[in-house]
Chain A
Amino acid sequence: MLAKIENLVKDYYLGKTTVHALRELSFGIEKGEFLSIVGPSGSGKTTLLNLIGCLDLPTKGDVFINGKNVSHLSDNEATNLRLKTIGFIFQSFNLIPVLNVYENIEFPLLLLGIKAGQRKEAVVSMAQKVGLHEYLIHKPDELSGGQRQRVAIARALVGNPLLVLADEPTANLDGETGHIIIDLMLEMNRELGTTFVFSTHDEMVIKHAQRKIFLHDGKIDRIEE
């Protein structure tokens, strides 16, 4: 098992009111699986992925990644863990606008301190895999939404993470492009063996997923295999 979520609780405090975003969630993520988290807007998908991705700390409960409890990490420990083991794909692509495609993909490798030669090899081969090798020197604003998300996928995968977290990666894309992007992620999942967890509120895009966890109001509604 790659990750284990145990009795996970996340509350947000807004002045005097408390928002219970996640209420005692428990499930596991298998190595190499392609898991989708499905739920309407506000059901807690982003909150859940943020906690698995060590971007935030839970109110209660634990997240284990590779057997290690990551619910109480310091900022630097969490950053290091994200850099080495987790890749992120966002709804609004979140590329660095001043960097071109090549440089955007290269960014995590620079943080990892990988040598120039190896870096170039990894970036070019990853760009090829996502079909962007002809766009290496383009800036993000010269690309379509689908192309931007491909760059994001390449950036998430280039450092060989164990786990890729994609929070509604298709929400800003049209239906067809959305499918293509999910297909690409599936392909990467099969080819590289990387574990994928992606969230969506659109049941149409999840027909490919092996396993679906349905969230409702911060709780697991049901799990479909």
Chain B
Amino acid sequence: MFLLILAFKNILRHKRRTILNITALAINVAGIVFFTAFYRGRIVDNYDRTINYLTSHIQIHNPLYETEKRRLPLDLTIKDSKKIKNDLKNHEWIRGVSERVEFAIIVNNGLDQMPCLGIGIQPEEERNIGILPEVITGGDYLVPGEEGILIGSKMAELLNLKVGDIVFLYVTTSLNQPNLFETEVRGIFHYGFPMLDKYVIHCSYDFIREYLNMPEGATKMMIMLKDRRLIPEMMNYLSEYNLKEYSGELQINRWEYFAQPLIEDVKGDTFFMGIFFFILVLVGLFGIINSMSTSVFERTQEIGTIRAVGTRRDQTVRLFLFETLAISLIGVMIGWIIGFAISLYLARAGIPLGQAFSETEMMAVPMGEKLYAVLGIWEYLGTLLLGLCAGLIGGISPALRASRLKIVDALRK
């Protein structure tokens, strides 16, 4: 205990050096804390947008669909999709279930044309699945069974289309026959994600199935839960349901299955963040080692004295370790405060990403205009651990050196 007090008194001895060490550590810790919060915000944002824009939480397919999905097969459907929807829609964990049909389509404005992905959706059910109803920037949303399509803002620009314009659509039916028909642009949506805004049209599920000549079944079913954390339990429930009702014939996947590149990306980034943080801590570590070595050197005679008076080797080690630990603890705590303040600000105000960045074609993941940090606990525990390790590792070698000094030589200094 008194060694601890003496250690604290020693800390105040070289105020400038101590402040320098504490500052370096605090900056590192603050950096790690708010980078982590920001990074978590990015992941949460990426995941949420991927789920809301693209995948929903869980999807059901015909088991053969996967291998043929490149040709957007209309013959590989979930025959019982209507019944499945009715079975599931009132489940307590489920926010929404909807049937979809995805098909290849060519959109023609009379002059130019674009091949794209058509998605037939159930407009009312879809309100509980994605955010399409909220991103309509012109015209109207879809009405079940009614004519008309929704096109993305980029496509509208490229094909020079406005709400109310007539477009010619070219599809291949489930019987492999070409079908050409005309309809109007009901509305324009803008996700801010080029892949969707440029290459996707939406239309009513019932309306398009007539033109596709599909008597029954959806090509995919989207399930949105009330909370992402319910996915594992829901998956269990669904696989039981699948076994019981369809002898396991449905293919049921979590959203991550459809977002592999994103997941890989996040893993890679996390790895590099880890290395980056490690380097930060290493820098702090060298600072501590350096200043503690100087301290040991400066206090050689004093070390000789306390050893002569009866301080054991292990007590001497502890004296110096306490000192570095206290410095690193103080540094960590100041870093926490700064890091927390910055994270809190970033969580409230967000960081603008800039239009140019958020809508580049290269973008693999949908992003908004701003990113918000998400506060967590792990960065605090992690930096505490790192700080203590830095203190221990940084202090141990000077402390051991101090304890191993020959007393008579130390006293002669």
Whether B311 is near chain A, meaning CB under 8 Å from some CB there, is yes
Whether A75 is near chain B, meaning CB under 8 Å from some CB there, is yes
Residues of A within 8 A of B13 (CB): 97-98
Q: Kindly specify which of B220-228, B230-238, B276-284, B298-306 makes contact with the partner chain.
A: B298-306
Residues of B within 8 A of A88 (CB): 305, 308-309
Given A90-B411, A98-B9, A98-B13, are A110 and B2 also a contact pair (CB < 8 Å)? yes
Determine if A94 and B408 form an interchain contact, defined as CB atoms under 8 angstroms apart.
no
Whether B12 is near chain A, meaning CB under 8 Å from some CB there, is yes
Whether A6 is near chain B, meaning CB under 8 Å from some CB there, is no
CB 8 Å contact bits of B306-318 with A (1 = contact, 0 = none): 1111111101000
Determine if B301 and A55 form an interchain contact, defined as CB atoms under 8 angstroms apart.
no
Whether A217 is near chain B, meaning CB under 8 Å from some CB there, is no
Determine if A94 and B310 form an interchain contact, defined as CB atoms under 8 angstroms apart.
no
Size of B's binding interface in residues, CB under 8 A: 24
Shortest Cβ distance from A95 into B: residue? B305
Given A50-B408, A56-B407, A75-B313, are A98 and B10 also a contact pair (CB < 8 Å)? yes
Q: Among the listed A79, A94, A112, which residue makes an inter-chain contact with B305, where contact means beta carbons less than 8 Å apart?
A: A94
Give A90 to B188 CA distance when docked, in angstroms: 91
Q: How far is the CB of A202 from chain B (nearest CB, A)?
A: 20
Whether A173 is near chain B, meaning CB under 8 Å from some CB there, is no
Residues of A within 8 A of B304 (CB): 94
Residues 26-55 of A at the B interface (beta carbon under 8 Å): 46, 50, 53, 55
Determine if A111 and B12 form an interchain contact, defined as CB atoms under 8 angstroms apart.
no
Whether B6 is near chain A, meaning CB under 8 Å from some CB there, is yes
Residues of A within 8 A of B10 (CB): 98
Q: How far is the CB of B242 from chain A (nearest CB, A)?
A: 70
Determine if B9 and A99 form an interchain contact, defined as CB atoms under 8 angstroms apart.
yes
CB 8 Å contact bits of A60-97 with B (1 = contact, 0 = none): 00000000000000011001101110001010101011
Whether A150 is near chain B, meaning CB under 8 Å from some CB there, is no
Residues of A within 8 A of B309 (CB): 82-83, 88, 107-108, 111, 155
Determine if A55 and B6 form an interchain contact, defined as CB atoms under 8 angstroms apart.
no
Determine if B313 and A56 form an interchain contact, defined as CB atoms under 8 angstroms apart.
no
Determine if A90 and B9 form an interchain contact, defined as CB atoms under 8 angstroms apart.
no
Given A94-B302, A98-B10, A98-B12, are A79 and B411 also a contact pair (CB < 8 Å)? no
Shortest Cβ distance from B1 into A: residue? A110
Residues of B within 8 A of A108 (CB): 309-310
Give A79 to B305 CA distance when docked, in angstroms: 12
Q: How far is the CB of A141 from chain B (nearest CB, A)?
A: 12
Residues of A within 8 A of B407 (CB): 55-56
Residues of B within 8 A of A97 (CB): 13, 302
Residues of A within 8 A of B305 (CB): 88, 90, 94, 96
Q: How far is the CB of B316 from chain A (nearest CB, A)?
A: 10
Q: How far is the CB of B302 from chain A (nearest CB, A)?
A: 6
Residues of B within 8 A of A112 (CB): 310
A75, A90, A98 — which one has the most chain B CB atoms within 10 A of its CB? A98
Given A56-B408, A97-B302, A98-B6, are A76 and B313 also a contact pair (CB < 8 Å)? yes
Q: How far is the CB of A21 from chain B (nearest CB, A)?
A: 11
Shortest Cβ distance from A47 into B: residue? B408
Shortest Cβ distance from A98 into B: residue? B9
Shortest Cβ distance from B7 into A: residue? A98
Residues of B within 8 A of A155 (CB): 309
Given A55-B408, A99-B6, are A80 and B306 also a contact pair (CB < 8 Å)? no
Give A162 to B411 CA distance when docked, in angstroms: 22
Q: How far is the CB of B347 from chain A (nearest CB, A)?
A: 42
Give A90 to B308 CA distance when docked, in angstroms: 10
Interface residues of B (CB under 8 A from A): 2, 6, 9-10, 12-13, 301-302, 304-313, 315, 406-408, 411-412
The 21 sampled A-B contact pairs (Cβ below 8 Å) are: A46-B412, A55-B411, A56-B406, A79-B312, A82-B309, A82-B310, A83-B310, A84-B310, A88-B308, A88-B309, A90-B411, A92-B301, A94-B302, A94-B411, A96-B306, A98-B6, A107-B306, A108-B309, A108-B310, A110-B2, A111-B310
Task: Return the 9 tightest CB-CB contacts between A and B, nearest first.
Answer: A83-B310, A98-B9, A94-B305, A110-B2, A56-B408, A55-B407, A111-B310, A79-B312, A50-B408
